[in-house]
Amino acid sequence: MRRFDAILIGAGQAGPSLAVRMAERGMKVVLVERKFLGGTCVNSGCMPTKTLVASARAAYVSRRGADLGVKISGEIAIDMQVVRRRAHQITMEARNGLAEWLGNMDGVTTIYGHARFETTDRVCVNGETLTAPRIFINVGARPVIPDLPGLEDIDHLTSTSILTLDVLPRHLAIIGGSYIGLEFAQMYRRFGSEITVVERGARVASREDEDVSDAIQEILAAEGIDVRTNANRISFSRGEDGIRMSLDGADFDVSHVLVATGRRPNTDDLGLDIAGVAVDPRGYIVVDDKLATNVAGIWALGDCNGRGAFTHTSYNDFEIVAANLLDDEDRKVSSRIPGYALYIDPPLGRAGMTEREAASSGRKVLVSRRPMARVGRAKERDETRGFMKVVADADTKEILGAAILGIEGDEAIHGVIDAMSAGTRYTDLQWSVPIHPTVSELIPTLLRGMG
């Protein structure tokens, strides 16, 4: 049995950084990873997909060149092998960089293998027992495959396996109209596929306010994406020319099916029951505000704790745990202002509550909304789709949330995230002087329109 000061299970966004911080304090730590260093973001999530989004945008801009007076003679063609290779290369650079960083770090041992609890302070990997007084779980999540008739009998893709596809689907059906479904829908449409998005809910991106969902759907429909909402009866069979899909009684043929119906935590094969670590009914590890589980000496970070589902929330979990355990600070998850982006083009940048959440919190709510057509930068680029809105508390003047669906929305939203993190009231920002011509330039005007 090998003894360490800490065991970290999973090398996603939290594990490697925490391992290094602890080793820098002279601790002897072991990082256990069953597949690839970097986890989802590096290998099958943000990095490869945002590289693909960049290729798709290059195609879109090239096709629109003539509108801006740029003549391109000949067809705009996509080389899927180059597109895919680029995404893979970005992944490999990040994965190899991590291996080098960890490899050069005294005090960090990396073991490749599946970890499983034997007791509260022992973990078995590749038949060997490791023990430590502190164990950090950072095991992430994986795609959910829904129980749809016929799905098991056809070759279907997930957000992971589609990354190895180097042919262009003739017709890609995407089941699920949220982050993963919508990002892949627009990117493959821009590569040249016919796309049908099948969402069982009444609208796409259903966590957002209705006006945001509607505007997203309009943006996608304008690019020729067929979005079917309220889809109830979905089934599949092998067709003569690919896959036969049946949707609410109507049949059609598609060449490929991508399943994008959510993710579930990798907590079912960890032996958590043996260690006595509590999980909720969906398998997420139950943690307190400092990410400690119900078992002393065991913490859970990242997607597996259900307190966030993004790269930045997993990394922030590392920052919280490191600050509390190593720097004698008092950091809590509940202090985090929720922020994220949906990387369709134009992107949706989000901060804090939706308008619906703010209204249902019982506060008296003020809202202001402006179209992107009011933004000089958007007009100059001839990309005026979308709008921005902000929600505030009428009594305290606190900013409760914002959405910027428009070019650079993922960047411009940080003005709001920073203001919310600093506790700035919207009335204090109404007279700030932004730089022209930027997207952020409309924010003071937006805040002056609160009503």
Ligand X SMILES: Cc1cc2nc3c(=O)[nH]c(=O)nc-3n(C[C@H](O)[C@H](O)[C@H](O)COP(=O)(O)OP(=O)(O)OC[C@H]3O[C@@H](n4cnc5c(N)ncnc54)[C@H](O)[C@@H]3O)c2cc1C
**Active site amino acids:** 436
Backbone angles phi, psi at 163, to 5 degrees: -70, -15
Angle, alpha carbons 179-41-272 (nearest 5°) = 95
Site for ligand NAD in 189-248 (CB under 6 A): 198-201, 206, 231, 234
Q: Closer to ligand X at the Cβ: 123 or 375? A: 123
Non-local (6+) Cβ contacts of 306 within 8 A are: 265, 280, 282, 284, 285
Least distance between ligand X and beta carbon 235 (Å): 25
Contact with ligand X (CB under 6 A): which of 186, 217, 311, 354? 311
The three-state secondary structure class of 223 is coil
Q: Closer to ligand NAD at the Cβ: 234 or 391? A: 234
Q: For residue 33, state whether it binds ligand X (rule: CB under 6 A).
A: yes
Q: Which of ligand NAD, ligand X, none does 177 bind, CB closer than 5 to 8 A by kind?
A: ligand NAD
Residues 299 and 287: beta-carbon distance below 8 Å: yes
Q: Which of ligand X, ligand NAD, none does 57 bind, CB closer than 5 to 8 A by kind?
A: none
Site for ligand X in 319-378 (CB under 6 A): 343
Site for ligand X in 73-132 (CB under 6 A): 114-115
Alpha carbon dihedral 371, 376, 380, 381, in 10-degree steps, equals -50
- The alpha helices in 104-240, defined as continuous H runs, are 179-191, 210-222
Q: Which of ligand NAD, ligand X, none does 64 bind, CB closer than 5 to 8 A by kind?
A: none
Residue 321, both tokens: 């745990």
Task: Select the span of 38-46, 205-213, 328-336, 435-443 touching ligand X (CB under 6 A).
Answer: 38-46
Backbone angles phi, psi at 248, to 5 degrees: 45, 45
Number of residues counted as binding ligand NAD (CB under 6 A): 27
* Residues forming beta bridges with residue 141, ordered by sequence position: 265
By rule CB under 6 A, what string of x and - marks binding of each residue 249-278 to ligand NAD?
-----------xxxx---------------
Q: How far apart are CA 189 and CA 227, in angstroms?
A: 12
Residues 216 and 406: beta-carbon distance below 8 Å: no
Q: For residue 181, state whether it binds ligand NAD (rule: CB under 6 A).
A: yes
Q: For residue 11, state whether it binds ligand X (rule: CB under 6 A).
A: yes
Q: For residue 10, state whether it binds ligand NAD (rule: CB under 6 A).
A: no
B/e letters for 153-167, b = 16+ CB within 10 Å, e = fewer, are ebebbbbeebbeeee
User: Using CB under 6 A as the criterion, which residues of the chain lie in contact with ligand NAD when the complex forms?
Assistant: 146, 148, 175-181, 183, 198-201, 206, 231, 234, 260-263, 309-310, 340-343
